[in-house]
Amino acid sequence: MLEGMIATKHIALQHTPAALAAVAVAQTLRVHGHSAYFVGGCVRDLLLGLQPKDYDIATSAHPDQVRRLFAHVVEVGVAFGVLRVRQPSSAGEVEIEVATFRAEAAYSDGRRPDSVHFTDAEQDVLRRDFTINGLLLDPLDQSGRLVDRCPVVDWVGGLVDLDAALLRAIGDPAARFGEDALRLLRAPRFAARFDLQIDGATRLAIETLAPTLARVSAERISAEVLAMLQAPSAPKALQWLADLGLAQQLWPQLVALDERLEQTQRRFISLQLAIVRPIAAQPAAFAPCVAIDAALAIATLFWPAQQHVGSLPEDWRLSRDTATRLRETWLLASELSTIANEPTQPALIRLLRSPQADAALLLLMALSAEPKWQELRQLRAATPMTQWWPALWVTGDTLLAWGQAQGPHFRAALLAAEDAQLAGESLADVEAATRRALPIDS
C-alpha cells in the first residue's frame, strides 16, 4: 500500500476467473512501478458477501503507460484516464476497467467533468458518488503476490455506512448530484438492491434536485431504470422512486393513475412470484420465460397507462426488437384477457403460439390471481410445437385444384380451413368450412 494509507479491514478475495484476471492486471501494473487497487462496486460486493460481476482497477499509471503494458486495450474514455484491458482467464477473455487516479473540474453539462487532472488515490476516491462505492482493496503484498486477506482502505466512511446499512453521498450531496444527475437514480437502485436506508442529507438533496433529471439523456435513464425493474429488488426501488419524488419526474402519466406506485409495486411482486412458479416443460415445446426482460418489465410498469405512452419506445430509446416485443406483449395480454372467458380453440391456439405469449401470460398473472393464466403457461410449455402448427389438410394447392384463381380470397379460405382443423373437425368439415369462406360465385 502507499505510504499514509491505512487498512481498516481485511477480507478474502474470491478466486473466480474474473477476480484472478483482475489480479493479473494489478500485478503487471505493480511490477512496473505503479500502484493498483480494486475499487468501487467489486469491493462493496465482496464486503457484502456477494460475487462481483466485474472488477475495476484504479491506478497511478497514466493511459499511455497502461497501453504499453497490455497487448489488448480498448479505449473507452482516454480523456478521463479510462481504458479496458482484455485479459485471458480460465473462463475466456475478461475485460477489466483500468482508470488513472483523477480529480475532476466542474460538470457544466451535468454528466461529464469539464476537465480532469491525474492525482493520487485519496483524491480519486473523494470524487466518487457514494461512500459504499469509495473503498479500495489491495490484493497484493509488497512482492506482488496475491494475499489471503486483502486490506480494505477507507477514506470516506464506507465501511461504517455498510455496517449501518446506510447510503450516503461522499462529501456534499448536492455537489455530487449536481455533477451527474443520473446519481439521483443510482441512489434508489443501490438502496433497494442492498436494503439500505438513505442518509438524511443525501435524501434531502435528491428530493430537492429531482427536477434536474431532465438534464439526463433518455438512454442513460432507460439503462438505470431497467436495471432496477429487472432486479429482485424492483418493488423496493419503485417505493424509493415514489418516496424521493423521482417517479413524478420520470412517469407523470403513471403517477397520475397510481400516486404512490403502490399498485405498480404489487404488480412487480406478483410478476416475480409468477416467473419462479414451476413449469413442467418439454424440449419440443415453447420454453417458458425464466427471467424478466426489458420488454416484460416495461409492459408491467406501464400496463395501466398504455394509452398515454405511445412514444415510449422512442422516449426510452428502446431497440427495435425490445419495442416490438413490448407492443406484442401488451396486445397479446389484451386479446387473451378478452377471449379467455369464452375461448374458441383456434383463436386461443393462434394467440398461444405467438413467441411473446408466455410474457403476456406472465403479465396477466401480475394483474390477476386467476389460475387460468398459469394453466395456459403450463399447456404452452408442455404441448409439442407440431400440435400448434399441424400439417394442413387444405392448402393453396388444394384451392387451385378446386379451380380457384389466386386472389385475396385465398387468405380467408385458408384461415377458415386452419381454424376448422385446429377445432378438431373432420376432413369433410374442414373442406366444407373452406368452401363457405370462398366467394359465392366461385
Burial of 27 (0-12, 13-18, 19+ CB in 10 A): middle
Check if the beta carbon of residue 394 is closer than 8 Å to that of residue 434.
yes
CATH topology of domain 1-158: Beta Polymerase; domain 2 (3.30.460)
Residue 247: exposed, middle, or buried by beta-carbon count in 10 A (0-12, 13-18, 19+)? Answer: buried
**DSSP 8-class letter at 318:** -
The rounded distance, in Å, linking the Cα atoms of 275 and 291 is 7
- Residue 3 pLDDT: 45
Task: Report which residue type is found at 158.
Answer: G
Give the whole-angstrom CA distance, residue 419 versus residue 436. Answer: 13
The pLDDT of residue 290 is: 94
What was the pLDDT predicted at 102?
A: 85
Strand order in the sheet with 82-87: 7-11, 150-154, 135-137, 36-39, 56-59, 94-100, 82-87, 73-77
Q: Helices marked H in 151-310 — which ranges?
A: 158-163, 173-179, 183-193, 200-209, 218-229, 234-243, 246-250, 252-257, 262-275, 294-302
Contact predicate 8/154, CB 8 Å: yes
Let me know the angle formed at the C-alpha of 100 by 95 and 106, rounded to the nearest 5 degrees: 115
The fold for domain 165-250 equals Hydrophobic Seed Protein (1.10.110)
Tens of each residue's pLDDT in the chain, 442 residues: 544 455 578 999 989 999 999 999 999 999 999 999 999 999 999 999 999 989 999 999 999 999 999 999 998 877 788 999 999 888 889 999 999 998 764 555 555 655 567 788 899 999 999 999 999 999 999 888 999 999 999 999 999 999 999 999 999 999 999 999 999 999 999 999 999 999 999 999 999 999 999 999 999 999 999 999 999 999 999 999 999 999 999 999 899 999 999 999 999 999 999 999 999 999 999 999 999 999 999 999 999 877 666 778 888 888 999 999 999 999 999 999 988 666 568 888 889 999 999 999 999 999 999 999 999 999 999 999 888 888 899 999 999 999 888 888 899 999 888 889 888 899 999 899 999 999 875 5
N residues, the chain: 442
pTM of the model: 0.88
Task: Give me the residue spans of the domains in the chain.
Answer: 1-158, 165-250, 265-387, 396-437
What backbone phi and psi angles, to 5 degrees, belong to 104? -125, 150
Domains 1-158 and 165-250 share a fold: no
